[in-house]
Structure 1
Amino acid sequence: MRNRKPWLVLLLVAVAGLLLFVWRLGMTGLVDETPPLFAASAKAMAETGDWLTPRVNGLPRYDKPPLVYWLMGLGYALPGQSLWNPFGTWASRLPSALSSIGLMLLMALTLLRRPQGQPDGAQQAVTALAAALAFALSPLVLLWSRISVSDALFSGLLSAALLLFWWRYAGLCRWWVPWLVLGLAVLAKGPVAVVLAGLTALLFALLQRDLPGLWALWRPWRGLALTAAVALPWYVLELLVEGQPYWDSFFGYHNLQRFTGVVNNHLQPWWFFFPVLVVASLPFTPLLLAGLVGALRPQPAPPEQSLQRFAACWLLAVFVFFTAAATKLPSYWIPATPAAGLLIALAAQNLRPGWRSAALRGSTLALVGVLTAGLAAGNLWVPLINEPEMPTLSSALLASGALTRASLCFGMGGVAALLLWWGPPSARRGWLLVQQLGMGAFVVTALVPMVELGDRLRQLPIRRMASLALEQQRPQEPLAMVGILKPSLHYYTQQVVVYEGVQPNGPLNLNDRLAREQRRGQQPSPASPGASVLVVIDGNTATLPHWRGVPHQRLGTIGLYELWRVPRPALNQWSKDLAERAGLAPDWQEPRPERY
């Protein structure tokens, strides 16, 4: 029996998505360290009109293809930025938020058009809503859908392509539609989209024992040609313009080396994604595991009833591929979260009276109880938080009351779910939804305020320091940051910032770079009498011997950061003294896989 008002279900999904991902989205600043690199690159595209190569801090940025930069850049190209986009985050975060909302709608529509099993109209609506919310309420999705990076966009496009591949199998769309969307996914993150889609398709074909039939339906050779037609033109143009550096960085370092070797110290054990799988679906992990086991039964499913099996193959493809990769990050699991949402909702739909259903329901609500108790007991563990960049975090978090609100939201949702299950059969189908409603209230009343608190403690000092630097800066005076490196300083000052770490030869690097390094927006300048450089330095780095001895004038202190004016001749002399005394030399010109 089909649901007669699918538009109402989709409207509810859209409203939920807007509350979860767009509510107060632009009311906080950029979060260091990666999001400002994306935002600054996109803003540079809009300002310079160079929509081919992303650039940040005067250098090309080769780590991702252009689609996310293009979408962010369209926002930055709109007029009135100071009115509607004061922190630069509406424009840079909307692609992530809208990608997740669009995917929620597609997941719900899939279950409305091809219900799994024999649910009545009300159960169809409940399952469609529950699947969309199970995806959206994953901790990974909640975080990555509200920041300025490419992961949510890539996950949304890849997941849409995979769902459309299943649509084709279920007789819902033309063969070329998923391949077109897959091409956009390749423009969002690269060839890994094709690999994950291909691995999912292969696992599904083997499990269904229908490789010839699926091959005929999906037409992979023609489909890959269409995907290439969408994605390859930009890659070819970028290679023609940027040449070997782009090839080495994007294809070599950011793709091949991430799979075969560990980059950026992201070494994790082989079993890393087992706990990620568990945590990413809390508190519904028992339902996820039940849905996964139920989907892997040996007998093939009819095409229109195979969504649960397809979702299981999708999740396993992500798990197998990234487990095999040497570099592992929690964000790599995001493309599996839509599949997890489908498995959770279908497992809940299939619950029947009996000990197995009682165990699944009981374990899920037990996890809700554990989370509720843990949040209520925040005064026991929050003081143990030690975050050097936010020394007052624990006291501020307890004073905000956010943990109390979070505990109430989880607890009330759990109690409501328990009461519904004890109620009449017609009410039991809503037990999962009411728990999800409580979690949605947690996002609006507790999680978003906690994010805003973190912004005030961690990011506001950087924005204020950027304003102070602009007030104090003399004409043609360069700006540097040493120690804790925050790309948002580059974004908010809208100029090239020379970044140096805490290494002992840092002063030598800074001195040499000012005299010799050339970037877009920065020209070399001599250490002539009267010349100076503004330096933003954190308090810990300022106490290190090789920086403490640098002659400087302190212009202000904001939070952890100090603003110095350093005479260039004095910096030059100090660098010479360090080189002679400690045998140091500049090394900033040595090849580095990532630089900004």
Structure 2
Amino acid sequence: MRDLHSNRPLVWSLFAAFALVTLYMLGVRTLVPPDEGRYAEMAREMFVTGDWVTTRLNGIKYFEKPPLQTWMNALSFSLFGVGEWQARLWTGLCGIGGVFITAYAGSRVFGQRVGLYAGLVLGSCFYWVACSQIDSLDMGLSGMMTIVLCALLLGQREGASARENRNWMLLCWAAMALSVLSKGLIGLMLPGGILVSYTLLTLQWRLWTRLHLVKGLLLFLAVAAPWFILVGLRNPEQPAFFFIHEHWDRFFKTEHHREQVWYVFFVLTAVGMVPWLGMLAQSLWLGAKRAPGVDPRAFRPRLMALVWAVFIIAFFTKSNSKLPGYILPVFPALALLTAIYLDAGSRLARVISAALTALVGAALLATVPFMPGMAGRSTEVALYQGYQPWVLVAGFVSLVGGALALLYARQMKRDLFVLVLAVTGFATTQIMIAGFEPIGKARAGTAMLPAIEAQLAPGTPIYAVGVYEQSMTFYLRRTVTLVAYTDEFSFGLQQQPELAIPTVPQFVERWMADAAAGRRNLAFMREDIYTALQAQGVPLRVVARDARRMVVANDVKQK
């Protein structure tokens, strides 16, 4: 198997298996709050209301993010019905598509072997595989940003015809527009900053004449601008909130309470590159070096990939808002650099990567006995005990796969080494994700659904007192009335205050009036609020409860 890249049936079989497993795994888990429940519910409401311009969460205007993922999820619901795998389909497709286009770009720019290796590396990186299974905005943005990177490399590569340069650059501009519609101005600012940084490093000003700036900007505006214009016309308050609060304030201020230690993204990048961590430093160093025999004035795709990764990490390190998913767009660039190193690098780096993978497996096995102690609540110890067999299997797969890859690395069987390590990384991550389902289900509270639904009639009011359960509105297929709760709804409720009840006493007045009239109400409620209201003699009947939440009705005797 020395020439794996030339065995087309095997290559396509590997990609098909990767895609099928990725798609199948989208539906094996409950939507875990907050992110998965939030974005699934936004799409469900868009699908139900038919309003594809004004984005809403729990029926309240919600302008924190642009609509591309909500559109795609709502489209998925329209085509396939409302459900869990449908809510994750867009992120799954972005993960699969990112692997495909990275492999394609690597093949065209660096050679077929590098292209295959790049696809195998990206398709097995812990972070990329895991985020492909989660309904959040980060993979949607990363999928579009991967197109930006790969189209740029393909369009600017030496030997590209004028027509190829134009077409790839127009795709690059369109993908930037989709990136903006995925998560905001970051989809334009990051590529722009990367391009400026690359130019300052290389002084290749000629590159700017090959960007098709006029056509590209027109295409960018044609794709990105219509929604911003429409939503601004319908909701005049949206532009200031979106562009100032969600961009400027998020980057420079700490009011979003998402601060982390300055080095967090360096750690996450290292963890996310498993099982290829052992050659990350060497791959970055190789990216900085000019390929031998290349004209100094020629476009340097390796350096562009390096600048892409370094700039994104540095940008978000500087930001006062730091969430783990922010650096996901760096992994396609790192996969390309790793693939280049795999094609030309030393055996030692491959040995180190295989050994580290085996070590990760051993660490997982060593962690298994201590997992019950990781439960945040004593009532959830059994959930972590149920997770133990999955971690045990994942650790065994990582240990054995790493050991086998180590054998092939020592025997100089490079293709087999890459294939085995890729399969090991992909399988280990998928096993860990699948086994998380009981814990995810507990976090979402879906075990309470039968008891809640048994109390519901079509017009039964549901309140959320001091809390908002991100996944429950999706599973109940209805919104709730917020009571004494604002958080991420603060801006929307300023525009639509009638959609919530600001204080608990006002809620109690309505609750007791309906109870006296024989109209059943239900409410999600914090334990401390329940205790206080019970002491006041407010009629409360517990319908369902778990370690994280409780649901009560206003009829003391079930009617």
Q: Match for residue 119 of structure 1?
A: none
Instruction: Tell me if 1:440 matches 2:426.
Output: yes
Match of 1:409 in 2: 397
Are residue 269 (structure 1) and residue 252 (structure 2) matched? no
Which of the numbers 382, 386, 395 marks the counterpart of 2:375? 386
User: Equivalent residue for 2:497?
Assistant: none
> Secondary structure of the residue that 1:30 maps to in structure 2?
coil
Gap change, CA 1:47 and 1:281, over 3 Å in 2: same
| 1:492 and 2:475 aligned | yes
Please say if residues 541 and 547 of structure 1, whose CA atoms lie closer than 8 Å, have aligned partners that are also in contact. Answer: no
CA contact (8 A) 1:162 1:178 kept: yes
Alignment-mate amino acid for residue 267 of structure 2: P
- Residue 282 (structure 1) shift: 2.0
TM-score under structure 2 length normalisation? 0.86
Q: Assess if the C-alpha contact under 8 Å between 1:3 and 1:112 holds in 2.
A: no
Q: Which residue of 1 aligns with 2:359?
A: 370
Partner of 1:537: 525
Shift of 1:465: 2.6
| Contact 1:284/1:364, CA 8 A, preserved across alignment | yes
Measured against aligned partners, the alpha-carbon deviations of 1:114-159 in whole angstroms (never above 9, x if no partner) come to 225xxxxxxx34x333322322333322232112222111110111
What secondary structure, in the 3-state scheme, does the structure 2 residue paired with 1:28 have?
Answer: coil
Q: Distance in 1 between matches of 2:95 and 2:138?
A: 10
Does residue 107 in structure 1 map to residue 97 in structure 2? no
After superposition, what is the alpha-carbon deviation per residue over 1:362-401, rounded to whole angstroms, capped at 9, x for unaligned?
Answer: 4323322321111111234313202238342322222xx2
Q: Displacement, 1:183?
A: 1.3
Cα distance in 1 for residues equivalent to 2:146 and 2:28: 29
Unpaired segments ≥5 residues, structure 2: 487-499
Paired with 1:180 and 1:537, the residues of 2 have a C-alpha distance of 46
Alignment of 1:453 onto 2:448: no
8 Å CA contact retained: 2:308, 2:330 = yes
CA 11–515 in structure 1, closer or farther in 2 if over 3 Å, else same? farther
| TM-fit CA distance, 1:549 | 4.2
Q: Which has the higher contact order (CA 8 A, sep 6+)?
A: 2
Q: Of the candidates 319, 325, 347, which is equivalent to residue 325 of structure 1?
A: 319
Distance 1:415 1:304 in 2: 41
- 1:341 is aligned to 2:335: yes
Counterpart for residue 136 of structure 2? 149
- Give distance in 2, aligned partners of 1:107 and 1:386: 39
Alpha-carbon spacing, 1:408–1:115, altered in 2? closer, same or farther (3 Å)? same
Partner of 2:30: 29
Gaps of 5+ in 1: 117-123, 517-523, 569-596
Equivalences for 1:286-305 in 2 at 5 Å?
A: 286-297=278-289
Deviations 1:429-488 (A, max 9, x none): 4313211112223244x22431323234333xx234334223213564421234553122
Pairwise mapping of residues 171-570 of structure 1 onto structure 2 (< 5 A)? 171=160, 172-174=164-166, 175-211=169-205, 213-244=206-237, 246-297=238-289, 306-352=300-346, 357-358=347-348, 360-388=349-377, 390-398=380-388, 401-423=389-411, 425=412, 427-444=413-430, 446-459=431-444, 462-473=445-456, 476-482=459-465, 485-500=468-483, 509-512=503-506, 529-530=516-517, 531=519, 533-537=521-525, 540-541=527-528, 544-545=531-532, 549=536, 551-560=538-547, 561-566=549-554
Identity %: 24
Superposition RMSD on alpha carbons, in Å? 3.0
Tell me the number of residue pairs that the alignment of Structure 1 and Structure 2 aligns.
Answer: 529
Q: For 1:547 and 1:78, how far apart are their aligned partners in 2?
A: 46
Distance of 2:514 and 2:544 partners within structure 1: 26
Could you say what secondary structure the match of 1:480 adopts? strand
Check conservation: 2:275, 2:421, Cα contact below 8 A. no
Query: How far, CA to CA, are the matches of 1:464 and 1:491 in structure 2?
Result: 14
Give, in whole Å, the separation in 1 of the partners of 2:399 and 2:414.
18
C-alpha deviation, 1:500, in angstroms: 4.6
1:159 has 2:149 as partner: no
Deviation at 1:532, TM superposition (A): 5.1
Q: Distance in 2 between matches of 1:373 and 1:239?
A: 54
User: Structure 2: which amino acid aligns with 1:15?
Assistant: A
Following superposition, the deviation at residue 221 of structure 1 comes to 4.2
Task: Please report the TM-score for the alignment, with normalisation by the length of structure 1.
Answer: 0.81
Match of 1:74 in 2: 75
CA distance in structure 1 between the partners assigned to 2:67 and 2:151 by the alignment: 23
1:110–1:422 CA distance, 2 compared to 1 (3 A): same
- State the Cα deviation string for residues 326-382 of structure 1 (Å, max 9, x = none): 101110011111111112221222214xxxx42x23432332232111111123431
Deviation string, structure 1 residues 279-301 (Cα, Å, up to 9, x no partner):
11123223122111121236895
Deviations, residues 61-92 of structure 1 (Å, cap 9, x unaligned): 2122111111111111136x3xxx5xx21221
Residue aligning to 1:128: 115
Residue 467 to residue 173, structure 1, CA distance change in 2 (3 Å)? farther
Distance 1:480 1:242, change over 3 A: same
> Distance in 1 between the 2:212 and 2:507 partners?
54
Summarize the Cα distance change of 1:17–1:344 in structure 2 as closer, same or farther, 3 Å threshold: farther
- Give distance in 2, aligned partners of 1:488 and 1:456: 10
Q: Give 1:528 deviation, angstroms.
A: 7.8
Query: 3-state DSSP class of the match of 2:63?
Result: coil
Letter paired with 2:456 = Q
Identify if the C-alpha distance between structure 1 residues 419 and 253 changes in structure 2 by more than 3 Å, giving closer, same or farther: same
In the aligned structure 1, how far is the partner of 2:120 from the partner of 2:255? 34
- Judge conservation of contact 2:268–2:324 (CA < 8 Å) in 1: yes
Distance 2:550 2:307 in 1: 53
Q: Is the 8 A contact 2:275 2:425 kept in 1?
A: no
